[in-house]
Amino acid sequence: MDAIDHATSNSGLLSNRLTPMFEPRTIAVAGASERDKSFGLRLAQSVLSAGDHNKINFINPRYSTILGRPCHAGFSELDEAPDLAVLGVGAQNLERSLADAIKRGARSAVIFDACQGETAAGGSLLQRLRDMALEADIPVCGGSGMGIINVPSGCVASFYGAGHLKPGGITLIAHSGSVFTTLAMNDPRFRFDLMVSSGQEIGATIDEYIDYAVTRSSTKVIAVFMEAARDPSRFLSSLKRARDIGVPVVVCKVGRTEESARMARSHTGAIAGSRSAYDAAFEEAGAITVDTVDQLMNVALLCSTGRFPAAGGVGLVTDSGGLRELTMDIAAEAQAPLARFSPATQELLRAALPAQLEPSNPLDCAADLTDDFSRVFVDGVSILADAEEVSMIGLEADLRDDYVYEEGLRELAETLAQRTDKPCFFYTSFGRTNNRALGEALAEKGVPCINGAGEMLAAVSRLQAWADRRRSQRETAPDYAPKAVVDAWRERLLQSTHIDEHFALAMMDGFGVPAAAGEIHEDWEGLRAAASRIGYPVVLKTAAVGIDHKSDEGGVFLNLRDEGALEAAYTRINSLLGTRVIVQRMASKGVELAFGYIHDPDFGPIVMVSAGGVLMEYFSGRQFALAPVNESRALEMIERLPIARLLDGVRGAQPSDKRSAARAFSAFSVMCASMGDVLEEVDVNPVIVSETGALAVDGLVVVKDSGDQHQ
C-alpha cells in the first residue's frame, strides 16, 4: 500500500491567492434579507448554517438587523475590509456592488447571478466584472454558480446550507451548479474538504482551485467536473503539480463528442478533436479520467482515504457464488485488475475455507449458517491483507439499512480499515441497494461504500492504473531537434511552393524517421532509369498536385516486378492523373501503422498512432499524446492499440519490431514538436513495421496558412 502525505510538501505555502476566499477572517454578505421565501433569506440562513457567526456581516440598506444580527447599509459602513464579499444581488446591482466591495478592500468575492445583459455604459456586464476583478487582482468565484463551502471551517458562501455536511478528503470543483448540488448534498457517504461551483470563472479559474486544494493536507483527492479549461497551459501545469505532490485529480470532462471545427485534409485532422487533445493532456499530466458523475465520485471515494494501491490487483471477498461469477464476467470483459492469487495464497485459503468453497477471486466465503459463519470472511480478509499480489481489498455482503442477516459481517465491514493498511472498501453488486445509512456509518470508519459491481470495478481499475503510472519511472521527454536541423527544414517549408510526398518523406528522414527513398519523374525514360537504379520490385504512385490520398484516385501501383509492369502502370497513371509520378523500392511486408499530427489550439502539438493503410478500417483504436514523447512512452502507446496483437505475431507469423516503430514514432513526435510553429497537420500512412524495422512509405504535410500546400 502506498500512502501519500502531502502536507509536508506544501509547508512553504502558508498563503495563497485563494486563502481569503476559503479561510476568511471576515465575510460581508450583500443582498441578505428576512423576506419570506426570498433568495436573500435563503442566502442569509445558509451562510449561518455551519460556521462562526461572529465574522459574518450582512449588507442591505432596508434592514438594521437580519436573523438577529446587525445589518449594514453598505460596504462602506463595515468596520474592517472583508476577506470575502458574497454578492447575492441581481444583475442590475452587480457592477456597483462589486465596485463597492473592492473599494472597501475586499480580498475575494462570490457571485451567483448569471451576469447577463449590459452595464449602464452599454458594455457586456460579464466582461465588465472580469475586467474589475483583473484590475483589482482579486479572485471571484462565479457567476452562474452556487458558490463555495469549506466544510472543516464551516465557511459557507452559498445559498445551500452546509450544517449537515461532515468533513472528509474530497475537494469538488464543478463548472456546473447542478452537479455541485447533486454531488455535494445528496449522499452522506461522500465527505468533502472543499466544494467549489466555479461557474463562469470571472476572477478565478479551475487551475487556481486545484493549486489551492493541493496545499491543504486535508484534501486527499480532487474531483473535477469541467466543460473546458479557460487557460489550458495553466490548467495542465496545475494537474502536473498535483501529480508531483501525489494528490490524484479525477476529471469528468463533458463536451467529449464535439469535433474540431477546422476542415482537415489529413486522416489525423479528420479524426482528432477536442476530446483527443484533452485526453492526451490528462494522460500527460497524470489525471484520472472518467465518463460519468457516478464514476467521478466512486473513484474520488476510493482515493479519499489517502491510501493508494501497490502493484497487483484487487482481491474481493463476497457472500454469493452467483455474484462472484457475475463479477468475474464483468471483470474479464472490462479487463479489470483482479489479483491472481499466488500458490502460497491459494494454499492458505484452502486451509481456511470449508471444503465446498474454492480459493477464487472473487472469494466466496458463504458456507453454512453456523456460529462460525463470519469467521470464514474474517480469515479470508486477513489472508488477502497479507498477500503481496493483492493491492486492494473489497468486501461484499447482504447488508442493508433495513436488514442485516449476520451482525458479524457488519462488524467486519466497519473494521475493515483497521484490519489492513491497503486500500479497502465495502461494495454491493446491486446499484440500487438500500444502504444510505450504512454508507454513512462506514464513512465514519474510513471505509468507502460503492454500489454496483460494474461501478466498483471501473473505479478500482482507474485507481490501480493511476497508481501504476505513478510508480513507473519513465524517461524524461526527449529534447527538441537540433536548431540547425529545425531552421533548415523550416526555411525549406516556407520557401516551397509545392510540398509533395517526396518532400514529406525526405523531411521525415531528416528528423530520424526511417523513410522510403524515392525519385520524382515526369517522363518514361527518366522513370525507367530510376527504377533500374532503385531495383525491382518497385512502387509507382502519382505525384500530381492536389491529390492528397492517391490510392483513392487509382494512383498507386504496388509490387511492380519488371520494366513491362512499370510501363503499364505508368501508362495508366498518365492517362488518369498526369505524367508526374514517384517511384520507390517496394518495402518489406509487415503490419501497417499510421502516425499523425495536428496543432491543437489549446494544447499545441498533438501526435497520434493508429493502425494504418486498409487496417484503419478494421482496427479503430487510436492513441494520442502531447508531443514530444520518449521511446518508452511511444512503445506503451503502440502496445495499447488493438492492432498490437498483429505486431506480436499471429498464426505463426514472426513478431514485428515494435521497438523500431516506437523509435520512429518518438522521432516523429520530436519533429512535430520542433516544427509546431509552421506545421498544421502531418499524416504518415502507412508506416510498415516488419521483423527488422519500421519504414514510412507515404506522407502528407500541411503548412500553417498555406492552403495550396499538399502532398
Question: In this structure, what CATH number is given to the domain that contains residue 618?
Answer: 3.30.470.20
Are both 546 and 608 inside the same structural domain? no
Are both 481 and 621 inside the same structural domain? yes
Helices (H), 496-620: 501-510, 524-534, 563-577
Give the span between the Cα atoms of 228 and 271, in whole angstroms: 20
Mind giving me the DSSP string for 98-150?
Answer: HHHHHHTT-S-EEE-S---SB-TTSSBHHHHHHHHHHHHT--EE-SSS-EEEE
Q: Domain range spanning residue 484?
A: 476-515+588-711
Within 10 Å of residue 9's Cβ, how many Cβ atoms? 17
Sheet strands (E) in 183-253 = 192-197, 221-226, 249-253
Check residue 652 and give its pLDDT: 67
More reliable by pLDDT, 87 or 369: 87
Percent share of the chain, pLDDT over 90: 73
Sheet holding 581-585, edge to edge: 518-521, 581-585, 538-542, 556-560
366 vs 352, 357, 633, CA distance in Å? 12, 8, 45
In tens, the pLDDT along 128-171 reads 999 999 999 999 999 999 999 999 999 999 999 999 999 999 99
141 vs 72, 86, 193, 419, CA distance in Å? 23, 10, 17, 42
In tens, the pLDDT along 329-383 reads 999 999 999 999 999 999 999 999 999 999 999 999 998 878 889 999 999 999 9
| Cell triple for 324 | 462472484
Task: Answer whether 146's CB lies under 8 Å from 180's CB.
Answer: yes
In tens, the pLDDT along 605-631 reads 999 999 998 888 778 789 999 999 999
Give the span between the Cα atoms of 129 and 147, in whole angstroms: 16
Mind giving me the DSSP string for 6-71?
Answer: -TGGGTT----TTHHHHS-S-EEEET---STT-HHHHHHHHHTSSS-GGGEEEE-TT-SEETTEEE
Are both 544 and 407 inside the same structural domain? no
Domain presence at residue 268: no
Give the span between the Cα atoms of 8 and 75, in whole angstroms: 39
Strand-pairing partners, residue 308, are: 2
Check residue 137 and give its pLDDT: 96
Check residue 264 and give its pLDDT: 37
Give the 3-state secondary structure of residue 273: strand
Domain presence at residue 261: no
Is the confidence at residue 6, as pLDDT, over 60?
no
More reliable by pLDDT, 472 or 86: 86
In tens, the pLDDT along 194-212 reads 999 999 999 999 999 999 9
Is the confidence at residue 261, as pLDDT, over 60?
no
Question: In this structure, what CATH number is given to the domain that contains residue 422?
Answer: 3.40.50.261
Domain presence at residue 274: no
Are both 152 and 126 inside the same structural domain? yes
Give the span between the Cα atoms of 589 and 245, in whole angstroms: 47
Check residue 109 and give its pLDDT: 98
Check residue 132 and give its pLDDT: 97
Give the span between the Cα atoms of 9 and 7, in whole angstroms: 5
Question: In this structure, what CATH number is given to the domain that contains residue 250?
Answer: 3.40.50.720
Which residue among 586, 608, 638 closes a domain?
586
Are both 572 and 641 inside the same structural domain? no
Give the 3-state secondary structure of residue 91: helix
Are both 401 and 495 inside the same structural domain? no
Domain presence at residue 601: yes
Which residue among 436, 471, 506 closes a domain?
471
Percent share of the chain, pLDDT over 70: 94
Which residue among 586, 613, 629 closes a domain?
586
Q: Among 29-38, 44-53, 270-279, 303-312, which stretch is predicted with the lowest mean pLDDT?
A: 270-279
Are both 33 and 177 inside the same structural domain? yes
57 vs 47, 91, 133, 564, CA distance in Å? 10, 22, 22, 94
Within 10 Å of residue 418's Cβ, how many Cβ atoms? 11
Average pLDDT for 654-669:
95
Give the span between the Cα atoms of 531 and 541, in whole angstroms: 13
Are both 533 and 459 inside the same structural domain? no
How far is C-alpha 134 from the geometric centre of its chain's CA atoms?
Answer: 29
Average pLDDT for 529-543:
89
Long-range Cβ pairs for the range 611-619 (8 Å, 24+): 611/641, 611/642, 611/643, 612/685, 612/686, 612/687, 613/685, 613/686, 615/591, 615/643, 615/646, 616/267, 616/685, 619/643, 619/646
| Cα 212-218-223 angle, rounded to 5 deg | 65
Domain presence at residue 269: no
181 backbone dihedrals φ, ψ, rounded to 5° = -75, -40
89 vs 78, 94, 136, 440, CA distance in Å? 18, 6, 20, 36
The amino acid occupying position 485 is: V
Strand-pairing partners, residue 560, are: 538
Strand-pairing partners, residue 548, are: none
In tens, the pLDDT along 450-490 reads 999 999 999 999 999 999 998 876 657 788 899 999 999 99
Sheet holding 27-30, edge to edge: 65-66, 69-72, 56-59, 27-30, 84-87, 109-111, 140-141
What is the pTM (predicted TM-score) of this model? 0.89
Check residue 473 and give its pLDDT: 60
| Cα 27-29-35 angle, rounded to 5 deg | 145
Element (H, E) at 184: helix 177-185
In tens, the pLDDT along 383-410 reads 999 999 999 999 999 999 999 989 999 9
Cis amide prior to 601 (ω within 30 degrees): no
In tens, the pLDDT along 33-81 reads 999 999 999 999 999 999 777 799 999 999 999 999 999 999 999 999 9
Average pLDDT for 315-333:
96
Burial 642-666 (b: 16+ CB within 10 A, else e): ebbebbeeeeeeeebbbebbbbbbb
Give the span between the Cα atoms of 377 and 407, in whole angstroms: 12
Domain count of the fold of the chain: 4
Is the confidence at residue 240, as pLDDT, over 50?
yes
Task: Answer whether 687's CB lies under 8 Å from 593's CB.
Answer: yes
Are both 448 and 491 inside the same structural domain? no
Check residue 256 and give its pLDDT: 64
pLDDT, averaged across the chain: 90
Q: Which of 50-59, 168-177, 526-535 has the highest mean pLDDT?
A: 168-177
The amino acid occupying position 177 is: G
Domain presence at residue 356: yes
Domain presence at residue 681: yes
Are both 557 and 622 inside the same structural domain? no
Within 10 Å of residue 10's Cβ, how many Cβ atoms? 15
Give the 3-state secondary structure of residue 345: helix
Are both 232 and 336 inside the same structural domain? no
Domain presence at residue 265: no
Question: In this structure, what CATH number is given to the domain that contains residue 534?
Answer: 3.30.1490.20
Is the confidence at residue 265, as pLDDT, over 80?
no
Task: Give the confidence band of 500 by pLDDT, cuts at 50, 70, 90.
Answer: confident
Are both 562 and 415 inside the same structural domain? no
Contacts of residue 622, defined as CB under 8 A and 6 or more positions apart, other chains included, come to 271, 276, 608, 609, 610, 641
